[in-house]
């Protein structure tokens, strides 16, 4: 089974300190930063991420979806909340996938649990994101050559052959 993470976008933006600062300047910047973070997390955690945003107060707004860097982004339409979309997605996906919903909205957490999904608070999601970042840094540091010079990276036999060729010039 593939894992799917559904994220209540504005709930997370309003919960993570880094995003709150950006939100105070511009919701667009906060959404972009959240998307950047979740794109990295999706790759590191091998999970499909869906971010849902409220746009139900936008007059005449239609629900729209787009795929940005592998992350599915959904804006609700007029009269439909992000919570409604999240609940519908949980209903549709839990029979085929392991689904987690990231939100700190207690009522929403209870509803998605009833639909068979697991819940992550905003704090828990942030901890998971940071854990994956730390683990990936450790992995890549342990699997890279510390020296950046070509001389240090090649075998002595090859280095000697290249040096002989250089001296023949």
Total domains, the chain: 1
Which residues constitute the domain of residue 105? 3-168
For the stretch 6-20, pLDDT in tens is: 999 999 999 999 999
CATH of the domain at 45: 3.40.50
C-beta of residue 35 within 8 angstroms of C-beta of residue 124: no
C-beta of residue 122 within 8 angstroms of C-beta of residue 102: yes
Helix, coil or strand: residue 60: coil
In this prediction, residue 139 carries a pLDDT of 59
- Where residue 142 falls among pLDDT bands split at 50, 70, 90? low
Q: Which of 85, 78, 9, 84 is closest to 49 using CA atoms?
A: 9
Give alpha helix (H) positions in 46-155.
82-93, 106-114, 122-142, 150-153
C-beta of residue 122 within 8 angstroms of C-beta of residue 105: no
C-beta of residue 77 within 8 angstroms of C-beta of residue 63: yes
For the stretch 19-74, pLDDT in tens is: 999 999 999 999 999 999 999 999 888 899 999 999 866 667 788 999 999 999 99
Residue 155 pLDDT > 50:
yes
Average per-residue pLDDT for the chain: 88
Residue 96 pLDDT > 60:
yes
Burial of 74 per CB tally in 10 Å (0-12, 13-18, 19+) = buried
Percentage of the residues of the chain whose pLDDT score is greater than 70: 86
Distance (Å, whole) CA 94 – CA 112: 10
In this prediction, residue 14 carries a pLDDT of 96
């Amino acid at each position: 089974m593939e894992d799917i993470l559904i994220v209540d976008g504005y709930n997370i933006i309003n919960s993570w300190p880094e995003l709150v600062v950006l939100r105070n300047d511009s919701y667009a910047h906060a959404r972009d930063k959240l998307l950047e973070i979740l794109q990295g997390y999706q790759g590191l955690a091998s999970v499909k991420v869906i971010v849902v945003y409220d746009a139900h107060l936008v007059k005449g707004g239609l629900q729209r979806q787009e795929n940005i860097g592998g992350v599915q982004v959904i804006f609700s339409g007029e009269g439909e909340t992000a919570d409604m979309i999240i609940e519908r997605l949980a209903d549709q996906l839990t029979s085929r996938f392991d689904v987690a919903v990231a939100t700190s909205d207690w009522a929403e957490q209870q509803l998605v649990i009833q639909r068979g999904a697991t819940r992550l608070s905003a704090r828990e999601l942030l901890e998971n994101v940071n854990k994956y970042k730390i683990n990936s840094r450790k992995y890549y540091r342990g699997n890279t050559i510390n020296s950046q010079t070509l001389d240090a990276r090649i075998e002595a036999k090859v280095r000697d052959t290249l040096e002989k060729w250089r001296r023949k010039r």
